[in-house]
Structures are given as structure tokens and as C-alpha cells.
Structure 1
């Protein structure tokens, strides 16, 4: 049955050569990331502080 669907042979000279893997270039590591760290920390802590403050006021006003 394969003889029925056989189209032809592959010409090996037309196959492109394998390229070596080259890893992508990574940007230079910036040592001064303190400002970004502080901003990320504040984005996390400020909402939690507001929520804690609101819960504290709620408990305080409910008990009196």
C-alpha cells in the first residue's frame, strides 16, 4: 500500500543544517533595586493596614 502513496525521495542537500542554540541575552542586573522593593512592599502593606484599621474601628464601635 505504501507504493501507492510514495511521492519521492528527500534530497539531503536541501535540508538546512541544524543551528546551535544561543540563549537570549539577559539585561544587566541592576544592584540598586531598593526603590522598587519599597514600592512593592508599600503596595502590599498599605491595603492591609487600611483593612486592619477598618476592622479595629468596627470592633471598637461595636463593643461600646
Structure 2
């Protein structure tokens, strides 16, 4: 008779965010990927970036092979208590013409606007400096 899987809180899982101790959450399951850090094709940085959050989206976006998905069983250590996982906010921003819109997950719309403005202004400031110094 198989025993019940261990259930971890999100906070417990989040504490394991080092190369020497790395746990990730994918599809509500907790995996101790510490032994896999050196072998991961994307490098240990990819796995470290997946800590402290639900990494299901990252895992799905990468398009892992069936072999990679089968390999996960080896690292499975339990489940995450879904009630302890922070909700991810989603915002929909649209352009003034409302023709295009996109969803930004977990971002602040004000920050996104500031980033867009800075991406426009910084190159202009650099050009201004270049022309000023040449004169």
C-alpha cells in the first residue's frame, strides 16, 4: 500500500533555492532537482530561476520532451498545498487604437508603461549627448 505523498507549503518549498538545495513546483508537485543541477541542459541558472514560484508556465513554455517529463518522477518528493501558493495577477494592456492587446502576468501596468517610455527616451538622450559632445 502506497503512502500519501508529503504536502509542503509554498513557503517551505521557497526556502530551497540554492544550487546545493533546489526544489521546484510544477503542476502542483514538488521536485527536488538538486541532483539534476549539473545535468540540466539549460544549466543550473534555469532551475534556480524556477524557484520561489509555480514554475509550471516556465516548464510548459520550454517544450520539454517526453523523456524529460518521464525523468521527473525520479525527483518527485511531494505535493504543494495549493492554498499557500500566491495568486498570479494578470493584466491586459491595450494600445490606444485597441487593435492590439496582450496579457502581462504578474506585472504592474504602471511599471510596463515606464519601461516603454524609458526604452524610447534613453536612446534619444544618448543621441543628444553624442551630438552635444561633437559640437
TM-score, scaled to structure 2: 0.21
Structure whose residues are more often helix by fraction: 1
Which structure would you say has the larger Rg?
Answer: 1
User: Quick one: higher RCO (CA 8 Å, sep 6+), 1 or 2?
Assistant: 2
TM-score, scaled to structure 1: 0.43
